[in-house]
Amino acid sequence: MPLVRTDELFKKAYGKYAIGAFNVNNMEILQGVIDAAKEERSPVILQISKGARNYAKLVYLMKLIEAATQDAPEVPIAVHLDHGDSFELCKEVIDAGFTSVMIDGSHLPFEENVALTKKVVEYAHSKNVVVEGELGKLQGIEEHVVSNEAVYTDPDKAVEFVERTGVDSLAIAIGTSHGAYKFKGEPKLDFERLQEIARKLPNFPLVLHGASSVLPQYVEKINKYGGNIGDAKGVPEDMLRKATTMGITKINIDTDLRLAMTATIREIFALHPEEFDPRKYLGPARDEIKNLVKHKMRDVLGSSNTI
Ligand SMILES: O=C(CO)COP(=O)(O)O
Ligand SMILES: O=C[C@H](O)COP(=O)(O)O
Ligand SMILES: [Zn+2]
Ligand SMILES: [Zn+2]
């Protein structure tokens, strides 16, 4: 089937399960994610950051994604810009065929965030493309910092932001952060805040960034085979499952894919130092990405068998 828009996926999922948004940077990652979606019969969002667009080049990525729709015609696939940082970048990918974009004005003062987001929404909607905005800044809770209210999403501001910009979904800050070091002490998310935002924005899809779980088996394997990522820590899976029943409809995962790929390749390099055929390590890395994404869809997102 042709690429779908994220709002179509969210409508069906809201309150029941979440759609995984997986960052794609190369062919092996894309194929691993698509193979998982096929086997799990799950919709999927492929998301491309500015960094991915620079790394892989947009024309290559668009061809790969077109190939994915042919390889998996039964899977609803949306293509989304992750953390768009300007109107121009959003316009570029909309014109290239993305079905969804994020404009991330969360670092801007509220009024500037509203103005930039609104401008992107006007252009995107005129092209039949949907928009994710962001309000609040992602930041982990550190042991010695009780809470930094200022960076979390204010529920009333969230309502005002959605009404004034016309965004189709909203990324909120409730305690997650990007990368592999999310919590110093016990993982903690502000579920009360999530509940309040969802109450004030009923049936409105909320997005959780920084939602990798940083699975211990990958951390251990990386550290065992020559890596050094210390005691990386992510969001526990039961917290993610809970969030999917409370209005979180899109869950962003990048770090877990990076860890799965790195752990697999490190192990092969360590155990088979004679190997130098890239297919012999990129192939298993692709398989591991598939296994990981299948696990996410089945046991965390709840999106398996929904197509
Ligand atoms: O939010 C993300 C992409 O936008 C990815 O988050 P992670 O770093 O937790 O994978
Ligand atoms: O949120 C950030 C994503 O993990 C994308 O990372 P990137 O900008 O390095 O591609
Ligand atoms: Zn942001
Ligand atoms: Zn993000």
Q: Which atom of ligand 2 is nearest to the CA of 255?
A: 4
Q: How far apart are CA 139 and CA 149, in angstroms?
A: 11
Which protein residue has the closest C-alpha to ligand 2 atom 1? 178
8 Å CB contact between 284 and 268: yes
Ligand 4 geometric centre to CA of 271 (Å): 34
Reading the block at residue 34, the tokens are 């698509």
d(CA 189, CA 184): 13
Q: Dmax of the chain from CA atoms?
A: 60
CB of 212 within 6 A of ligand 1: the answer is yes
Strand, helix or coil at 139? Answer: coil
Please tell me the distance from the alpha carbon of residue 125 to that of residue 159, in angstroms, as a whole number. Answer: 20
Q: Output the pLDDT for position 165.
A: 98
d(CA 133, CA 207): 9
Pocket test for ligand 1, best of 19, 22, 23, 174 (most atoms within 8 A of CB): 23
Cβ–Cβ < 8 Å for 300, 256 = no
pLDDT of residue 143: 44
pLDDT of residue 140: 53
Work out the angle between the directed axes of helices 110-126 and 155-165 (0-180°, nearest 10): 40
Cβ(29)–Cβ(47) below 8 Å:
no
23 in ligand 2 pocket by Cβ < 6 Å? Answer: yes
What count of residues does the chain have?
307
Q: Residue 293 Cα, ligand 1 centroid: separation in angstroms? A: 14
Query: Degrees (nearest 5) of the Cα angle 22, 99, 85?
Result: 70
| Distance from C-alpha of 41 to C-alpha of 34, rounded to nearest angstrom | 10
Taking 3-state DSSP, the helix, strand and coil percentages for the chain, each rounded to the nearest 5, stand at: 50, 15, 35
Which residues are part of a known binding site for Zn(2+)? 83, 104, 134, 178, 209
CA distance 52 to 35: 20
Q: What per-residue confidence (pLDDT) applies to 149?
A: 47
Is residue 258 in contact with ligand 2, taking CB distance under 6 Å? Answer: no
> Tokens 């959780």 belong to which residue?
208
Nearest CA to ligand 1 atom 7: 210
List, for residues 99-110, the tens digit of each pLDDT value: 999 999 999 999
Most informative mutation of 82, 132, 250, 253 for ligand 2 (most atoms within 8 A of CB): 82
Which of 300, 255, 227 has its CA nearest to residue 18? 300
The secondary element (H helix, E strand) that includes residue 258 is helix 255-271
Residue 64 CA from chain centroid, whole number: 19
pLDDT tens-digit map of 197-253 = 999 999 999 999 999 999 999 999 999 999 999 989 999 999 999 999 999 999 999
Residues of the chain with pLDDT under 70: 140-150
Is 82 designated active site?
yes
Domains of the chain, CATH where assigned: 6-301 (3.20.20.70)
Opening angle at CA 189, ends 184 and 195, nearest 5: 170
Q: Which listed residue (82, 168, 190, 256) is catalytic?
A: 82
Query: How many angstroms is it from 262 CA to the middle of ligand 4?
Result: 20
**For residue 210, which atom of ligand 2 is closest to its CA?**
1
Ligand 1 atom showing the smallest separation from residue 253 Cα: 10
Which ranges in 5-109 belong to alpha helices (H)? 6-13, 27-40, 50-56, 58-71, 87-96
Q: How many Å lie between the centroid of ligand 4 and the Cα of residue 210?
A: 6
Confirm or reject: Cβ of 153 under 6 Å from ligand 1.
Answer: no
Q: Which element (helix H / strand E) includes 292?
A: helix 278-295
What is the enclosing helix (H) or strand (E) of 162?
Answer: helix 155-165
ipTM of the complex: 0.96
Closest ligand, as measured to the CA of 252: 1
